[in-house]
Amino acid sequence: MRLSEETLHFLRGEKYSNGLTMDFEFGEEDHAYSTQIDLLCGLASRKRIVHVGCVDHNIATIDHKRKRKKWLHGRLCSSAQRCHGIDIQEEGIRYIREKLGYNDTSAVDIFSEAFFELAVGDTWDSLFIPEVLEHLENPSGFLRQIREKYCNHFNSIVITVPNGLSYDNWQLARKGKEAINSDHHFWFTPYTLAKNVINAGLHVEKILMCRHGTINWRAIRRNRFFRKNPLLRNDILCIAKLT
């Protein structure tokens, strides 16, 4: 899914509408139904990346996801040439290093001097920021700081966020319910994610819709539905350039 020039005028604030309706044009890649992890691992393949938020909430979550082969950091490390994980959760980083053997990790804030020295001390392809922006009070400000501090040290940023337009959300809304991580500040749509990225001074290269979780390939009718309707998948992936 690529953004049209007309849509970019609105995203940049050059035009305004209080009832903008976007028409999406989907290509072959958009109709390939994939999981978030598979897409991220494909983008990380043979690349040198930094994974922000590698602990994934807490140690219990890591253990649970490892049993199901869904722990993202472990999968990224298997795919990338180098994957350095960072997180502000010191206990989680100690567990990853001492118990699981993932030594290429740091308990640092992304804007700390320690991480800046790491970033400038090596050559990197991408900064991966999966399922982080929805936890922040100011996503645009966070991305703007990254661009200002690291635009010369990473070629691209890879972002994933939950999709507010998902079929699962629609089904629950019909019942008068909402299911959400209690730490989330936002739901995103392709437009609002692109708005945050562009407001930060970044360039949107590509947006893809994907499945957050596993895909049951025996559910033929369900999978056909999501292939045909990418906007109803429950996760959004965005590749953005820093310059």
Average pLDDT, stretch 21-38? 91
Q: How confident is the model at residue 84 (pLDDT cuts 50, 70, 90)?
A: very high
pLDDT value at position 126? 97
Average pLDDT, stretch 191-219? 95
List domains and CATH numbers for the chain. 27-50+110-241 (3.40.50.150)
Burial of 83 (0-12, 13-18, 19+ CB in 10 A): buried
pLDDT value at position 101? 94
What secondary structure, in 3-state letters, does the chain show?
CCCCHHHHHHHCCCCCCCCCCCCCCCCCCCCCCCEHHHHHHHHHECCEEEEECCCCCCHHHHHHHHHCCCCHHHHHHHHECEEEEECCCHHHHHHHHHCCCCCCEECCCCCCHHHHHHHHCCCCCEEEEECCHHHCCCHHHHHHHHHHHHCCCCCEEEEEEEECCCHHHHHHHHCCCCCCCCCCCCCECHHHHHHHHHHCCCEEEEEEEEECCCCCCCCHHHHHHHHHCHHHCCEEEEEEECC
- pTM for this entry: 0.94
Phi-psi region of 210 (alpha: psi -120 to 50; beta: other; left: phi over 0): beta
Q: How confident is the model at residue 196 (pLDDT cuts 50, 70, 90)?
A: very high
pLDDT tens sequence across 162-181: 999 999 999 999 999 999 99
Proportion of the chain above pLDDT 90, given as a percent: 83
